[in-house]
Structure 1
Amino acid sequence: MNDETTLSVTVTGRDRPGISARLLSTLSVFPVTIVDLEQVVLAGRLVLGAVLEVDERVAPGVSRHRVFEEVRNALDKTAIDLDMEADYASGDAHNRVNESSSAARLHVTVLADPLRPGALGAITSCVARAGANIDRIERLSSYPVTSVEMEISGAAGDPARLAQLRAELAMEASTQGVDVAVQPSGLHRRAKHLIVMDVDSTLIQGEVIELLAAHAGCEEEVARVTEQAMRGELDFEESLRRRVALLKGLDAGAIAEVCEEIQLTPGARTLIRTLKRLGYECGIVSGGFTQITDVLVERLGLDYSAANTLEIVDGKLTGGLVGPVVDRKGKAVTLERFAREAGVPLEQTVAVGDGANDLDMLQTAGLGVAFNAKPVVRQQADTSVNVPYLDTIAFILGITREEIEAADLHAHAEPASIGHTSLG
């Protein structure tokens, strides 16, 4: 043990106030520095881990072995007083800590309802097969879904290993019926961000044009064209103009009625409120219509929006559109414009959508999230979410349920409710 350069300490026991302060106070009388520290509380049990190094600036020439032996004796006595257990490991752990800290890291987020041990075990096995190491696992939420985040090292710096990890996780996630997101670690996760969401079947439930078609008496025909477009079987602009043409002659007053009929996707208000409190810019871009998105902007406090505009003459829809169409390419261009206006690098943007029309936007963003999406979109997006709650996207961004609830409290709003989904 004479060649030990660091001492790793792990203390476990029942959690209660003042434990950490007492343990760290015990260490304060010794000439040691803390080179790594982590504390976790699980089911009322505290685990405090620290890696210590002798501070030779305070005690030059001192025997490391002697200092560490005195630290062990002192911590053993404190642990007994606190009815806890202390374990030790010596060696060159400091170098391993530094290597791990400097290496590129990844965050792997797993979401499911319910999250079963077997599914999580399969995901962690994928991490091991990719030659990566799990440094930390943290629960982010238990409602409306269970989500955990793993911080891993040893894969991000090697493109081949990272590609292997992503591919295996995607396959295993599909097999296990869970959602998995893989993202680089770093301070940028908490830097200024921009999130841009599709509207129809993402921010809101259903398709606005189908609601308008119901008022015009052509709902079934419009729905057929919509489904073809969302599957990528039709050019979006052509399909949109065909559907809008079917609305010719509809009284413009029907738009206001549709606004009252719209239902937000469960968790939409909660997601936007939370992200804005945490400093995000929030925008929407839609292949739908400004007559609807303008109302969403006002009622949800959004920062940016873009959509198509229905042409109205003498209080009637003409069956045409005003200006260029916001299509698949247009959504990506709009995301880039929003990012410039917000002063946010593209790598710090998040895009959320469900249809083929959203693919360019999802691939342009730093993180593209397929939300209850068509198969072609799930296959090409960075990650997918297949539960019906939009606020689960917050967990992918590393935001905990506690932070979401704090946003609700801060806004003096009703507690986040999955059932509270109306636009009005």
Structure 2
Amino acid sequence: MMKYLATLIANPSKADLDYRDVEEVKETLEQEGYTSSNPFWIESNVACDIPFTGSNIKQAKEHIKKCLTGSEIDIVVQPAKNRRKKILVADMDSTIVEGETLDELAGLIGLKKQVSEITKRAMRGEIDFKESLLERVSLLKGIPVTAMEETLQNITLTSGAIPLVRTMSFNGAYTVLLSGGFSYFTRAIAKLVGFDEGISNELVVKNGYLTGQVTEPILDSNAKLEKLRNISQTRNISITNAMAVGDGFNDIPMIVQSGIGISFRGKPAVDAKADASIRFGDLTSLLYVQGYKTKDFCY
């Protein structure tokens, strides 16, 4: 029988995970034939591990979800072994930062609504990412480079981004911001947050203005996965020791292939493929998933 951990996580700003929720989940698992051990509180009222043994992790997850229906509690079920990962690959837009940088840039010339609609369709997987990117960037032709600085100044980091990256880095993980967005933003965000590396697309600039073109090859979903594999090989770390997090359709391949793939406030298609979905907590949830206590966080 495999040993698993069911980690229940509340939003730290609410801290509303109750011991009764934990006991209810424990009882449900036992009623369904699983053998559970004493719960371990990672952080009081925020995150708790319930160790259990069984043979069907998927069914266990469904039983727990039913048990907590109506609660704003995130559920992560994973093997107990090797929970702390040595690679982090993270999407940028709507994951490490709030919103979409390309949409915000388009907003400076009154095209946010038009561009954001294309973005939404691409993130839901309704249209090809590469085609959607080229279409959106073409609309930005003639924008001065200075507009990117203005956009950058208005970007807001997602709550928990800094402790997630810095805590994992401090504990020996290699952290990469892997974005289908643009290097002007990823360079700055990677440095600000503390990533070891930022990888993204490059906008073509001529005489201080955007040309409406992107340098090939374009970093799409397959390229993201290939980058993850390269990082794994170069660092000599198994891909099973990698954590991938994102929200959009183009993040699915790296999420599926990593040791644990997290959909962070993601689209339904991403939720369906990810090992776990974080809907209520912030990015520190990914630290609780790995067993880090709040006192271990780095800022």
Question: Please, what TM-score do these two structures have when normalized by structure 2?
Answer: 0.92
- Alignment partner of 1:162 out of 52, 57, 74: 57
Secondary structure of the residue aligned to 1:136 is coil
Match for residue 49 of structure 2 among 149, 156, 161:
149
Q: Which amino acid aligns with 1:146?
A: V
Q: Deviations over 1:42-64 (max 9, x none)?
A: xxxxxxxxxxxxxxxxxxxxxxx
SS in 2 for 1:284: strand
Q: 1:3-402 maps to which residues of 2 (within 5 A)?
A: 104-112=2-10, 113-142=15-44, 146-153=46-53, 155=54, 158=55, 161-186=56-81, 188-190=82-84, 193-402=86-295
* Structure 1 runs not aligned, ≥5 long: 1-102, 409-424
The one-character-per-residue Cα deviations of 1:298-338 (angstroms, maximum 9, x if unpaired) are: 22331232211111111110111001111122211111112
2:51 partner amino acid: E
Q: What's 1:83 paired with?
A: none
Q: Which residue of 2 aligns with 1:56?
A: none
Instruction: Give 2:8's aligned amino acid.
Output: V
Residues 118-177 of structure 1: CA distance to partner in whole angstroms, max 9, x if unpaired?
A: 5334422332144222223111124xx611011212x1xx3xx33321332344445543
Instruction: Give the CA RMSD over aligned residues.
Output: 1.8
SS of aligned partner of 2:204: strand
CA distance in 2, matches of 1:125, 1:176: 17
* Aligned-partner Cα distance in 1 for 2:234–2:2: 30
Identity of aligned residues (%): 30
Q: TM-score, normalised by structure 1?
A: 0.66
SS of residue paired to 2:223: helix
| Paired residue secondary structure (1:189) | coil
* C-alpha separation in 2, matches of 1:325 and 1:172: 43
Unaligned ranges ≥5, structure 2 = none
- Shift of residue 234, structure 1, vs aligned partner: 1.1
- Cα distance in 2 for partners of 1:355, 1:385 equals 13
Single out whichever of 219-228 and 332-341 deviates more from structure 2.
332-341
Q: Retained in 2: the 8 A contact 1:354–1:370? A: yes
AA paired with 2:268? P
Larger radius of gyration: 1
Runs of 4+ in 1 over 4 A off after TM superposition: none
Counterpart CA distance in 2 for 1:194 and 1:173 is 31
Q: Secondary structure at the match of 1:272?
A: helix
Given that residues 105 and 185 in structure 1 are in contact (C-alpha distance below 8 angstroms), is that contact kept between their aligned partners in structure 2?
yes
